[in-house]
C-alpha cells in the first residue's frame, strides 16, 4: 500500500537516480535523523486509545512510507477493520515534520465523498500517532496493474470516471492532490475506487501565491511544477493523463533510465504512443498531457470526451479483474450498444447520421446498413416465424416460455404456441423435456455427449490433481459471447473468428472470418451460402444484426483463453444448436458435438469435443490457461475435485436443457 510513500523535497545538484526510483515518490532527498543501526522498539499488538479507552489489534503491514507504516487495525469491540497509518513520534520530532502531519489530518478529516478514502479517527500515545482510515481490501491500482500488466479500455473508463468524480470534489473544495498515481488509488471489497494519501495535498492558492516546491512522483510531475511555476488544478489533470497512459500501456509515458532524461521529456511533453491504442484514447491522453496547462481539458470535459461517450463503461467490475482480464459478456453493455444500433437503423434520418458519424468504425461497404427503412417488427425474423407456423402444422409444437423478447405479438397465444424452433433450444431452455424431440439431430448430439460424460464421472477414481498425461490439440470453441435474446438472439464468436447468431425464431446465421461470407441455417444441416453484399432481401435485416453482434464483440470483448485455432476444412462448419444459462454458468452445444460450459464467477471453462473418434476435455482456468486431456485418461487417473465438480455441473446442465 503506497498510501504513505511521498515527501516534499528541494532538488539540488543530484542528477543520478536509479531506474526504480522514477516511479516512487520524491523521498530520496530526505535525511534520516535516527541511527540506522539502532533497532526501533517492537510495537505492541494491542493498541489502546488513551482518550476513549478503545482497544485495537494490530494486524499485517499494508504499506510503508517515508515517515510511517500502514497496518490493518481491528477494533476489538466491533471487529471493524481499519487501515491505520502509524507514525512514530521519533520520525516527526522536528516542528515542520509535525506540522505536515497535523496539516494532513486537518485536511483529510474534512473530506466526505464516496470516491475519497474515508478518514475515521486519529489519536496518539507516548510512542506513535495513529490515523484510522477506510480499509480497502483489494489494495491499489498499482497492485492490480502489477498483476495484470495492462488494463482494457472499459476498465480504464470505469476507474477514470471514479477518479474524476473524487478529484472534482477535491477541486471544488479548493484542494490539490499533487500526488496522483496508481499507488494512491485504492480499491475496496466491492471494486469501488477511493482516492487516498493526502500527504502532499494543499489548498489551491491564487496564481501569484502558488506553491513552487517540486513535490510528487517524478514520472507524474507536470512541466509547470518542474519549472517552478506553481501547482494548479491543471497539474492534477496532467498526472491523470499519466495515470491513464500507464493503465492502458503498463508504463508511465515519460519513463526513462535516469531522472535528468525523464525531466527533459516532461518539459518537452515528449512521449511515444503505440498504434495499438485506440484513436479516442490517444486523443484524450494527448489533451491531458498538453505542455501548456491552459490547453488541458477540465474534469467535466474529460468525461464528455469521445473516449467515454463512444465506448461502454461497466457498471461494476468483478473482483477477478484484480488478477485477470474481465470477460465483458454481461448484457447491460450489450443492451446499451444495441439500443444505439437499433436507433440508428430504424429511427429517423438524424439518428442514423449521428450514430454513423460517432461510430466511424464500420467499413465503407457497411454503409448500406444505415439505409435500411424497414421496421424491426416487420423484419424477416417475424415473417419467417409466421411461415414456420403454416408450414409445420403436422409437427408437435414447442412452446417457448420463460424468456422475454421473442419477436411475436404478446397478445397472440396461438402464434406463440406454434412457433417452431428449427434449431433446438433457441432461448436456452424449453418448457419441458417432452418437447425436446429426442429423435432429432440435436437430441442425438446431446445424448451422445451426455452418455460419454456420465460414464466418465461414474467410473472415474478420486484424485487430488490433474493427470500427468496431457496433450496438444486444436479445435473450434467459443471465445466471446453476448446474450441479447430479449430482442434478437444469442451471439458468439468462435476461435477462428467466425461469428454466429442463434436468432429468437430458431434460425442460425454465421459470418465467416473473411467478414464477407454468410452461412444461413433454416433447418438442421441445410445451409444456404451468400455474401453480405448480395444477401437476399428477406435476410438483409438479419445480416445487419449479425454485423452488429460481430462489431460489438470485436470492439468490446476479450478472448476467453489461450487455445490456438486451426480450422480443419474437412470437418463441417460449427454452428450452435442450443444454449442454456443458469445462475452459475452458460452451456453451449454445437452441431458436431462440441460442448462448452463457461462459469461466470471465475471465468473458467470446460470444453468437450470429439477428435479422431476420441473425446477430449479441455479445462481453461481463471488465468485463461488451457489444459487438454483425453477423457480416457481422466477415466483411468481421475482429476482434481475442482474439475470434477465442474464436470458434474456441466452434465446436469446438459440433462436439464429441456426441463
Question: Hey, what's the cell of 556?
Answer: 468490446
CA 468, CA 633: separation in Å to the nearest integer?
9
CA 105, CA 645: separation in Å to the nearest integer?
51
- Say which residues have a Cβ less than 8 Å from residue 146's Cβ, sequence separation at least 6: none
Cα 344 to chain centroid distance, Å, stands at 27
Name the one residue in this structure whose C-alpha cell is 454465421: 510
β-strand partners of 586: 581, 598
Name the one residue in this structure whose C-alpha cell is 465467416: 512
The C-alpha R_g of the chain, in whole angstroms, comes to 30
Name the one residue in this structure whose C-alpha cell is 435474446: 485
Give the length of the chain: 659
CA 512, CA 573: separation in Å to the nearest integer?
10
Q: Is 173 exposed, middle or buried (0-12, 13-18, 19+ CB in 10 A)?
A: middle
Which candidate in 179, 197, 236, 366 is catalytic? 179
β-strand partners of 620: 605, 626
Per DSSP, the three-state class of 59 is: strand
In the chain, what is the straight-line distance between the N-terminal and C-terminal CA atoms, in Å?
Answer: 50
* Element (DSSP H or E) covering residue 418: helix 413-418
* 94 carries a ligand binding annotation: yes
Question: Hey, what's the cell of 615?
Answer: 473425446
Torsion angle of C-alpha atoms 75, 81, 82, 88, degrees rounded to 10: 50
357 catalytic? Reply is no
Annotated binding site: 94
Annotated binding site for ATP: 94
- Name the residues annotated as catalytic: 179
Amino acid at each position: 500500500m503506497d498510501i504513505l510513500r511521498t515527501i516534499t523535497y528541494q532538488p539540488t545538484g543530484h542528477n543520478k537516480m536509479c531506474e526504480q526510483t522514477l516511479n516512487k515518490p520524491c523521498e530520496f532527498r530526505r535525511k534520516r535523523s535516527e541511527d540506522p543501526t539502532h533497532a526501533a522498539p517492537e510495537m505492541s499488538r494491542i493498541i489502546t486509545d488513551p482518550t476513549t479507552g478503545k482497544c485495537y489489534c494490530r494486524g499485517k503491514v499494508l504499506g510503508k512510507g517515508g515517515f510511517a507504516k500502514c497496518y490493518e487495525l481491528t477494533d476489538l469491540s466491533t471487529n471493524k477493520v481499519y487501515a491505520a497509518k502509524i507514525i512514530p513520534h521519533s520520525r516527526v520530532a522536528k516542528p515542520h515534520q509535525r506540522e505536515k502531519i497535523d496539516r494532513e489530518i486537518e485536511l483529510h478529516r474534512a473530506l466526505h465523498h464516496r470516491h475519497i478514502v474515508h478518514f475515521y479517527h486519529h489519536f496518539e500515545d507516548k510512542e506513535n500517532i495513529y490515523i484510522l482510515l477506510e480499509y480497502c481490501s483489494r489494495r491499489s491500482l498499482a497492485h492490480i496493474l502489477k498483476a495484470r500488466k495492462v488494463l482494457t479500455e472499459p476498465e480504464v473508463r470505469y476507474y477514470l470516471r471514479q477518479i474524476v468524480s473524487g478529484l472534482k470534489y477535491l477541486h471544488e473544495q479548493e484542494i490539490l492532490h499533487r500526488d496522483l498515481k496508481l499507488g494512491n488509488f485504492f480499491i475496496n471489497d466491492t471494486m469501488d475506487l477511493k482516492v487516498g494519501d493526502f500527504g502532499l495535498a494543499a489548498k489551491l492558492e491564487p496564481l501569484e501565491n502558488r506553491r513552487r516546491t517540486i513535490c510528487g512522483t517524478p514520472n507524474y510531475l507536470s512541466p509547470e511544477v518542474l519549472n517552478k511555476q506553481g501547482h494548479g488544478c491543471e497539474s492534477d489533470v496532467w498526472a491523470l493523463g499519466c495515470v491513464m497512459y500507464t493503465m492502458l500501456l503498463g508504463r508511465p509515458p515519460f519513463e526513462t533510465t535516469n531522472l535528468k532524461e525523464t525531466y527533459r521529456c516532461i518539459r518537452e511533453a515528449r512521449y511515444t504512443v503505440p498504434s495499438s491504442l485506440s484513436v479516442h484514447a490517444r486523443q484524450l491522453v494527448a489533451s491531458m498531457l498538453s505542455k501548456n496547462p491552459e490547453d488541458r481539458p477540465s474534469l467535466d470535459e474529460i468525461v464528455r470526451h469521445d473516449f467515454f461517450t463512444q465506448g461502454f463503461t461497466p457498471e461494476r467490475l468483478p473482483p477477478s479483474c484484480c488478477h485477470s482480464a474481465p470477460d465483458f459478456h454481461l448484457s447491460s453493455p450489450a443492451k446499451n450498444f444495441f439500443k444505439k444500433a437499433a436507433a440508428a437503423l430504424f429511427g429517423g434520418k438524424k439518428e442514423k447520421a449521428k450514430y454513423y458519424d460517432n461510430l466511424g468504425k464500420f467499413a465503407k461497404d457497411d454503409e448500406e446498413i444505415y439505409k435500411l427503412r424497414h421496421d424491426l417488427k416487420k423484419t424477416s425474423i417475424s415473417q419467417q416465424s409466421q411461415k414456420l407456423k403454416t408450414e409445420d402444422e403436422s409437427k408437435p409444437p414447442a412452446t417457448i416460455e420463460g424468456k422475454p423478447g421473442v419477436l411475436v405479438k404478446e397478445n397472440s397465444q396461438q402464434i406463440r404456441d406454434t412457433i417452431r424452433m428449427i434449431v433446438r433450444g433457441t432461448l436456452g431452455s424449453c418448457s419441458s423435456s417432452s418437447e425436446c424431440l429426442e429423435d432429432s439431430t440435436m437430441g442425438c448430439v446431446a445424448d451422445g455427449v451426455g452418455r460419454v460424460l456420465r460414464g466418465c464421472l461414474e467410473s472415474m477414481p478420486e484424485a487430488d490433481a490433474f493427470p500427468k498425461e496431457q496433450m496438444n490439440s486444436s479445435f473450434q470453441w467459443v471465445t466471446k459471447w453476448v446474450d441479447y435474446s430479449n430482442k434478437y438472439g444469442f451471439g458468439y464468436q468462435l476461435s477462428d473468428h467466425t461469428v454466429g447468431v442463434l436468432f429468437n425464431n430458431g434460425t442460425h446465421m454465421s459470418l465467416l472470418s473473411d467478414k464477407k461470407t454468410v452461412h444461413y441455417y433454416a433447418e438442421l444441416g441445410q445451409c444456404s451460402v451468400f455474401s453480405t453484399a448480395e444477401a437476399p432481401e428477406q435476410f438483409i435485416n438479419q445480416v445487419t444484426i449479425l454485423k452488429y453482434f460481430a462489431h460489438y464483440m470485436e470492439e468490446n470483448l476479450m478472448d476467453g483463453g489461450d487455445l490456438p485455432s486451426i480450422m480443419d476444412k474437412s470437418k463441417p462448419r460449427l454452428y450452435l444448436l442450443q444454449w442454456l444459462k443458469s445462475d452459475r454458468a452458460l452451456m453451449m452445444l454445437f452441431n458436431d458435438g462440441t460442448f462448452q460450459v463457461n462459469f461466470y464467477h471465475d471465468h473458467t471453462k470446460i470444453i468437450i469435443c470429439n477428435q479422431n473418434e476420441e473425446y477430449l476435455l479441455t479445462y481453461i482456468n481463471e488465468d485463461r490457461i488451457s489444459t487438454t486431456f483425453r477423457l480416457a485418461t481422466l477415466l483411468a487417473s481421475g482429476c482434481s475435485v475442482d474439475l470434477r465438480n465442474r464436470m458434474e455441473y456441466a452434465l446436469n446442465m446438459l440433462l436439464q436443457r429441456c426441463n
